[in-house]
Chain A
Amino acid sequence: MLDRRLLFLAAIALAAVIAFMTLGLRGNVAFILQLRGLKLLALVQVAVSIAISTVLFQTVTANRILTPSIMGLDALYLFGQTALVFLLGGFGYASLNTGVKFGVEVLLMVALAMVLLWPLLRNRMDMNLMLLMGVTLGLLFRSLSALLSRLLDPNAFAIVQTVSFANFNTLRADLTVLGTIVTFGAALLCWRARHVLDVIGLGRETAIGLGVNWTKAAAGLLMLVAVLVAVSTALVGPVAFFGLLVAALAERLMGTQRHATLLPAAALMGIVVLVGGQTVSQHGLGGASTLGVVIEFAGGLAFLLLLILGSRK
């Protein structure tokens, strides 16, 4: 008994995908389709990984306004990357195998995320303070990356530059396959755990009372979130409010917090916004490079709205 709204969302997502693939086809059709297919795969994968990581993060913090990137996680990833370039040098970095590099970066990030976020989860700090600290951490990592990249030589600097801005046009094929595998695995894992996630979303005390091994579950979820953020950030760079926008929209539309509905809805919503947005910006107004800025703008407004609405209660 699938929800009709979910079907509706799936239909729009499909329409967006078809539009993306077919609009303005000219010239060497087979070549363009192949190129677009790869790009589509990357976009879908980014949308799904950000949507899922946001929902998971909100569940484990029992809070519907936090997102990994608001807590500075994607800035942390970038910092890790810059630090790697700084330590290994531009050449050393470039000669690393993509998989190894990715693995090292993810590990680095998971470790740092655990160190930074674990105390916040344990001590149940004031929510706004936690958010403020997260935003500041994000600023700190961004400045640290900027500082480090100024210390690099120009060649290494160029390498960092290409990865540190949200960019939906120059997607990297080598990471797409890897990312798709990771995202698919994570999605499967979440789907199987959807009922446990419902309980965890009730908060730490209630979850423990209902027999969940909270420490283990929360640690596992945080790690999963870190991996997913690493995947999406590696592909397109940081997108601060995209996850929040998508998760909030999905929740509004579905009117439920049950993960069996929320997870697929958020993923589909992510595809609609990202693939649809990319199609519109490529063929409609604005030119292709502006989608990131527009998403930031709309997501930021959504955040402010949620903040004000939430404080009114």
Chain B
Amino acid sequence: MIQIENVSLSYREVPILSDITLSLGKGGITALVGPNGAGKSTLLSLIARLQPLQTGRILVDSLPVNSTASRILARRLAILRQGGAIASRLTVRQLVGFGRFPHHQGRPCAGDIAAVEAALEQFELQALAERFIDTLSGGQRQRAMVAMTFCQGTDYLLLDEPLNNLDMFHARQLMRSLRTIADERQRTAIIVLHDINQAATYADRIVAMRDGRVIADGTPATVLTEDNLEAVFGYRMQIRQIDGTPLVLQHL
């Protein structure tokens, strides 16, 4: 369980997050949605201890993120940030292999190698395994990064816009993989999404944010209402129901 208690953050006196309190239970997929600058990515990087907390506290399985050893947290949660350009010339297999670093600190055992192979297979990267990542397309690189994050084998996965650069096929594939590990292995995914319909279809819970505050929080059916969406995104959009799942006509 991830507990976020009274977290506020400001940068040069501009408030980014204002008094956020959330509790994210174990298992399932939680989607963070909201317009640009809502504070979603900041919240994610605070949970992943990439930025120091200013006020409030965050606990991951009751370990406070700001005072727990980084190595221990790395076995509980993995984070994928957006747009982290990798300049190193590593092969896809080597890169994915570094996802196991928290477990072996540089001396991999057979289990680690098997985990890497499994991740490569899951994201259909075997054919690219020996290619250097700087020779890949943006989407292939994104898949390699996602595979590395999966390979870390943690209970919690924090993904910041993982669908960036992915074509429809691989975007769907990724969301389905998340669904699978959530259902079969009780993993927890917290994921920033811009495509609200992906959230509607695959998430168990949607947290909608705007201006550093949580505007709505609940199942897709309860959050995705016309009033809520207007409050978050600033315009009215139509919503249809298809087989009980809301479909937002966001583009109209």
Does chain A touch chain B in the assembled complex, meaning CB atoms less than 8 Å apart? no
